[in-house]
Amino acid sequence: MRLRVLAAENKSMKKIITVIGARPQFIKAAPVSKAFLGYKDLREIIVHTGQHYDSGMSDVFFKELEIPEPMYNLEVGSASHAIQTGEIMKRLEDVLMKEKPDLLLIYGDTNSTLAGALTAAKLHVPVAHVEAGLRSFNNKMPEEINRIVADRLSSLLFAPTKTAVDNLTNEGITDGVHRTGDVMYDVALLFTPKAIEESTILDSLDVTPGEYILATIHRAENTDVITRLTNVSTALRTIAEDITVVLPIHPRTRKMVKEFQLDNRLNGVKLIDPVGFLDMVNLEHNARLIVTDSGGVQKEAYFHKVPCVTLRDETEWVETVDAGWNVLADVNRCDNIILSINDMLSQNGERKTIAEYGDGHSSTDIVLKMSKYLRAGVVTQKQFGNIL
């Protein structure tokens, strides 16, 4: 475990440990970490679990998003769900025992999210969950289990939408729930101008704005099932005969394409290595269409006003579908994927605005609510010491 040494702290400050470990969490944490700077009585300590550990999936995002360097890196690396979650808990417990935080902040639905919530709850450290209340209602998705458990263990639940609040209410969770809007919209407003100005990815790939499709595939339900990955690969190859398809290929996807011997199924698709945050924003912003199985990219597509085809059976972001910006494609049928893509390419009608994602100040609201919670004396260092 790597540790960054800091100067002696002000003992009167309230400590908030932020646990992040994957690309979507780095992105969500950026505006929240920036909002912390407005509070002299709050100190954020960032713990990177190492769930995404190479520079292409981790370091570059910290630099481009201007996130403070993590004080701790747990360096858990890749493993099965159980082993990865267990290793994070084991290493994170040592950090919490040492730092004695007043609050632990988690994001989203990864194994890092679950491990953070479980470890903190067992030490009686209050948990704040950004993106609380999202539900796909598919318990076969590991992310769904992670979300449900994290929400059950959280004292502060920052729900991005009314649908998320309703989901929590239906599960009997009402205390500590706050509808805040979506921090990802904050990110889009903060960094899109910078991405357009600084990223040279379009020139590097020799693609023209509005004349290519951006695709991302990484979910195990698609990559680890040969029929589904074959269908996706074949559909992208077919579409690439008429319009350029750019696919930044996730390490897991690359591995499974090779294992299933599907390389030829992607002939004609412009395969590239994973890209940095600013390059990804630029690719999203200028795409004619986005095809993805990512939860976050669905919303990012909307923020850039780019239509989206989601390669999943369900989505937690139902607002994007209801507003006409997003459509779900049945990955069990190659022809359905192709039809969905062609339909979205041909649609030029009016689409609805999704007002409930907020006004770009969700992060500020979240930090303000955490500050008020801690000032109310919900937990103190002395109480924490007695618990231990």
Mean pLDDT of all residues in 267-273: 96
CA distance 235 to 55: 30
Residues 6 or more apart from 91 whose CB is under 8 A from it?
1, 49, 74, 76
Mean pLDDT (the chain, rounded): 92
Q: Is the dihedral of CA 271, 274, 275, 277 positive or negative?
A: positive
Angle at 18 between CA 16 and CA 194, to 5 degrees: 115
Tokens of 286: 């200028």
**SS3 call for 132:** coil
* In the predicted structure, residue 385 carries a pLDDT above the cut 50: no
Sign of CA dihedral 218, 186, 67, 214: positive
User: CATH number of the domain at 2-182+359-387, please?
Assistant: 3.40.50.2000
Which of these is catalytic: 52, 218, 250, 304? Answer: 218
- Read off the pLDDT of residues 24-59 as tens digits, 9 standing for 90 and up: 899 999 999 999 999 999 999 999 998 765 555 567
* pLDDT confidence of residue 77: 84
The pairing of strands 2-3 and 72-73 is antiparallel
**Distance, CA of 192 to CA of 300 (rounded, Å):** 11
144's tokens: 């769904």
Q: Is domain 187-355 annotated with CATH 3.40.50.2000?
A: yes
* Catalytic residue status for 285: no
Helices (H), 9-138: 23-36, 59-65, 81-99, 111-122
Tokens 């994602």 locate to 357
Which residues, 6 or more positions from 216, have their beta carbon under 8 angstroms from its beta carbon?
A: 247, 248, 250, 290, 291, 292, 293, 294, 297
Please tell me the distance from the alpha carbon of residue 24 to that of residue 31, in angstroms, as a whole number.
Answer: 13
- For the residues 361-380, what does the mean pLDDT come to? 88
Three-state DSSP class for residue 137: coil
Burial 300-322 (b: 16+ CB within 10 A, else e): bbbbbebbbbbbbeebbbebbbe
pLDDT for position 388: 32
Domain boundaries in the chain?
Answer: 2-182+359-387, 187-355
Per-residue confidence (pLDDT) for residue 60, from 0 to 100:
75
Name the pLDDT band for 79 (thresholds 50, 70, 90).
confident
**Residue 364, burial from CB neighbour count under 10 angstroms (0-12, 13-18, 19+):** middle
Give the per-residue pLDDT at 382: 38
Contact 214, 244 (CB under 8 A): no
**What average pLDDT does this structure show over 248-270?**
94
Residues 170-194, mean pLDDT to the nearest whole number: 96
**Same topology for domains 2-182+359-387 and 187-355, yes or no?**
yes
